[in-house]
Chain A
Amino acid sequence: MSGYGSPATGVVVPAAPMPAQATVWAGSHQAPLLDAARLALARDLQLAFRKRGQLVQPLAFFAMVTMLFPLAISPELARLREIAPGVLWAGALLASLLALEFLFRDDAYDGTLEQYALSGQSLTWLIFAKTVAHWLLTGLPLALMAPLAALSLGVSEAAVPGIVASVAVGSVALSLIGSIGAALTLGIKRSGALLSLLTLPLSLPVLIFGARATQLAITGGPLRAPLELLAALAVLGVTLAPLAAAAAVRISLE
């Protein structure tokens, strides 16, 4: 018995190595831990690309939020440029929040999360892999789309690298913080509002430093300090958030 098939996709999650298998694992150059995490990551990416419509939703939402501000405030580029960091980050935060609902929901419904928890593999690593997949599917596209939104708000092209970097790094932290909220609200019906109530206060430092980095990128100032603070938040998230999210997933399965 080498693994449990996940009923939805047939992708096999390796079970904990039996004593006889231990030598096989030791022979491969990667730990079984990372193998399992890589398989979970690949599975999530594959599933996401089969439902491309869902992938586009957060991006379309982000574009819509950006569009609201010129319509609601003023079409003058000089004024829009001033509020561009806030618009970009509020949009990115809301778009990533919108995407969070899909992070664990399908896997909780079809029992995949339960299989993960029973597989004997470290649930923390599997959850981390899912979060990485989530970032690749929402955070990274948002970072790549942010310059487009910024240009439409009258920001000069020189700011593009700084904007991409700040949204890319900041969204890592957002995905990780969000994974805790998404795991805690598993199984609650209509959890959207609660999920935002849990996640938004914890995401505020990311918003503050991200908007600051973006603002400095637009005005051409030195944005190293806020970027490093964003990176620090992301690293703190990488070390602690998967533990908390895995604990929350386990609680939801009890």
Chain B
Amino acid sequence: MTWTWFHRLGSPPYVYALAARLTPWFAWPAALLIVGGLWGGLVLAPPDYQQGDGFRIIYVHAPSAWMSLMVYTTMAVAAAVGLIWRIKVAHAVAASCAPIGASFTFAALVTGALWGEPMWGTYWEWDPRLTSELILLFLYLGYMGLRAGLEDTQRSDRASAVLAVVGVVNVPIIHYSVTWWNSLHQAPSVMRLAKPTMAASMLVPLLMMLLGFTLFFGAVLLVRLRGEVLSRERSASWIREIVNA
């Protein structure tokens, strides 16, 4: 077995074409799963016995929160690959991840606040998970700020990659220190129940949404990656050929 398939992933024209070919394979299943999951979650699933219909926001909130962490991990892995093996395409992947991850984090925060209003009686509670999510948003903004601040693409790639790797070391430390901080200051909130087992009619739509969001991330990442590759290679001859064709 040869490694040519792997080496070809380092070539911008190949990745550009591959991303175009793969996008529908992510986009269509994502659309089907999200529509199906929303139908199952918002219509078919029964109301929760304690939270009523309010719990249904979980079908957007939980997948967003899950994606906010997964995108950060993807970004850090891509950045590390780019930093270690000096693969330009890996840096392009990391750069494309950041705005998507920041959007998911923002969505998780907004849906969390909307859920908190009827449940906790306040939009914002210094709950450890919400606080960690807010800090994660700042980490994304810092990463994007650093990218924007450095003009030279290569330097911006490598510096932001160092930041992403440092961030990934810090995320668990931040999360646990925030959890610890909160448990000192505040009694467990009313909502902190022993983990209830979810009924299948509630769980299946949630899993569909999780998978759908993951595939959606893949599709958006591929589209952004193509844009990123185009802007980085704007003076390359293969792009002129595509444009003139």
A228 to chain B, nearest CB (A): 13
**With a CB–CB cut-off of 8 A, which chain B residues contact A198?**
142, 145-146, 163
Let me know if A208 and B149 touch, CB within 8 A: no
From B142, B145, B167, B174, give the contact of A204 (CB < 8 A).
B174
**With a CB–CB cut-off of 8 A, which chain B residues contact A200?**
138
Nearest A residue to B134, CB-CB:
A201
From A202, A204, A205, A252, give the contact of B166 (CB < 8 A).
A202
**With a CB–CB cut-off of 8 A, which chain A residues contact B4?**
none
- Asked if B165 is an interface residue, CB under 8 A from chain A, the answer is yes
Let me know if B162 and A252 touch, CB within 8 A: no
- Asked if B180 is an interface residue, CB under 8 A from chain A, the answer is yes
Let me know if B169 and A180 touch, CB within 8 A: no
- Asked if A90 is an interface residue, CB under 8 A from chain B, the answer is no
Contacts known (A197-B145, A198-B146); A248 close to B162, Cβ less than 8 A: yes
**With a CB–CB cut-off of 8 A, which chain A residues contact B158?**
251, 254
Q: Mark A11-29, 1 if CB is under 8 A from B, else 0.
A: 0000000000000000000
Instruction: Give the docked Cα–Cα distance between A197 and B102 (Å).
Output: 15
- Asked if B135 is an interface residue, CB under 8 A from chain A, the answer is yes
Main secondary structure of the interface of B (DSSP, over half): helix
Give the size category of B's interface with A: 20 to 34
From B139, B149, B159, B174, give the contact of A205 (CB < 8 A).
B174
Let me know if B159 and A251 touch, CB within 8 A: yes
- Asked if B141 is an interface residue, CB under 8 A from chain A, the answer is yes
**With a CB–CB cut-off of 8 A, which chain A residues contact B162?**
180, 184, 244, 247-248, 251
- Asked if A209 is an interface residue, CB under 8 A from chain B, the answer is yes
A221 to chain B, nearest CB (A): 11
**With a CB–CB cut-off of 8 A, which chain A residues contact B11?**
none
Instruction: Give the docked Cα–Cα distance between A240 and B170 (Å).
Output: 11
- Asked if A194 is an interface residue, CB under 8 A from chain B, the answer is yes
Let me know if B177 and A201 touch, CB within 8 A: no
**With a CB–CB cut-off of 8 A, which chain A residues contact B169?**
240
> Lowest 9 CB-CB distances: which A-B pairs, in order?
A205-B177, A188-B149, A201-B138, A198-B142, A208-B181, A251-B158, A197-B142, A208-B177, A201-B135
23 contacts between A and B (CB under 8 A): A180-B166, A184-B162, A185-B146, A188-B150, A191-B149, A194-B142, A197-B142, A197-B145, A198-B142, A201-B139, A202-B166, A202-B170, A202-B174, A204-B135, A204-B174, A205-B177, A208-B180, A209-B177, A212-B184, A229-B177, A233-B173, A244-B165, A252-B159
